């Protein structure tokens, strides 16, 4: 009887870090959470130090997250910020399931009260991201789909979100964005935009005085999270033939009441 010998390949030798997949995943999540909470780019050395990781380990994690789009390089080659995949994940999470429905109900109730279109927005890099929107039933209205982006410097929500950033981050962002004149009323000077942000921070609401689209005005108020940080904005807008700037300001109280209800839904 002949015997047949089989050779079985030896399993690959894994490092302690590679074998601890759960630990590796946890490190990646902690790194992403740190960047998201910080709100600015961090260097590899900063990430390693803040997370108490060896620099080589932090480098491997960053390389993997860059490849998958969860991280992106900042202006400096050695600095990292949140990537498009993480922003998409955050957007999908904010618009998921029961909570999304409850937020939509808050907007719908607000539209019934103010009789004009209302938006729920947040900051996405150097732009405003539309998370939700309820249209008023008027024949003349501006349509922007959920997921759309609009500029910071010439929209009520954009200026409001910019105004509530830490001063250092706000000044850095103002220095990076292009202040394109969308209408003759658009702010095109960094100094004027900084002054506008200071005024917004004092008065707790923001106005779009036909700065984004001629013939359209808007006001926006902040939505705070449970820790008192501004995470989003609620805005109402309408054509000037239906709503003057003073009429829009008269709706601030209703927007602020809706924003308070939104806090529990972030």
Look at 84-88, 223-227, 245-249 and tell me which has the smallest mean pLDDT. Answer: 84-88
Read off the tokens for 151: 């500029």
pLDDT in tens, 92-150: 776 666 788 899 999 999 999 999 999 999 998 899 999 899 998 876 556 677 778 99
pLDDT at 79: 84
In the chain, where are the structural domains located?
Answer: 16-82, 95-263
Cα–Cα distance, 16 to 20 (Å, whole number): 6
CA 266, CA 264: separation in Å to the nearest integer?
6
User: How many CB atoms sit inside 10 A of residue 53's CB?
Assistant: 17
Which CATH number fits the domain 16-82, given the four candidates 3.40.190.10, 1.10.10.10, 1.10.540.10, 3.40.50.1950? 1.10.10.10
Per-residue pLDDT at 76: 60
pLDDT in tens, 185-228: 999 999 999 999 999 999 999 999 999 999 999 999 999 999 99
d(CA 54, CA 42): 16
pLDDT of residue 141: 57
Q: Is the pLDDT of residue 62 over 70?
A: yes
Looking at domain 95-263, does it have CATH number 3.40.50.150?
Answer: no
pTM score, whole prediction: 0.69
Give kind and range of the element (H or E) at residue 49: helix 44-50
Q: What is the mean pLDDT of the chain?
A: 86
Mean pLDDT of 160-185: 95
């Amino acid at each position: 009887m002949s015997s047949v010998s089989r050779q079985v390949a030896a399993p690959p030798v894994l490092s302690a870090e590679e074998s601890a997949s759960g630990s590796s995943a946890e490190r990646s999540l902690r790194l992403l959470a740190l960047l998201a909470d910080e709100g600015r780019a961090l260097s590899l050395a900063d990430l390693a130090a803040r997370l108490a990781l060896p620099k080589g380990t932090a480098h491997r994690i960053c390389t993997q997250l860059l490849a998958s789009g969860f991280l992106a390089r900042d202006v400096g080659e050695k600095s990292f910020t949140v990537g498009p995949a993480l922003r998409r994940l955050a957007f999908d999470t904010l618009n998921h399931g029961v909570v999304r429905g409850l937020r939509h109900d808050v907007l719908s109730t607000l539209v019934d009260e103010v009789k004009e279109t209302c938006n729920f927005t947040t900051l996405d890099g150097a732009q405003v991201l539309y998370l939700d929107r309820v249209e008023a039933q008027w024949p003349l209205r501006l349509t922007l789909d959920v997921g759309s982006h609009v500029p910071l410097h010439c929209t009520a929500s954009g200026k409001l979100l910019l105004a509530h950033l830490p001063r250092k981050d706000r000044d850095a962002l103002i220095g990076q964005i292009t202040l394109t004149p969308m209408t003759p009323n658009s702010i095109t000077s960094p100094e004027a935009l900084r002054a506008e942000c200071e005024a917004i921070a004092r008065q707790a609401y923001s106005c779009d005085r036909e700065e984004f689209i001629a013939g359209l005005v808007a006001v926006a108020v902040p939505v705070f999270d449970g820790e008192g940080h501004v995470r989003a904005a609620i805005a109402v807008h309408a054509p000037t033939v239906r709503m003057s700037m003073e009429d829009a300001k008269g709706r601030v109280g209703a927007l602020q009441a809706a924003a308070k209800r939104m806090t529990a839904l972030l």
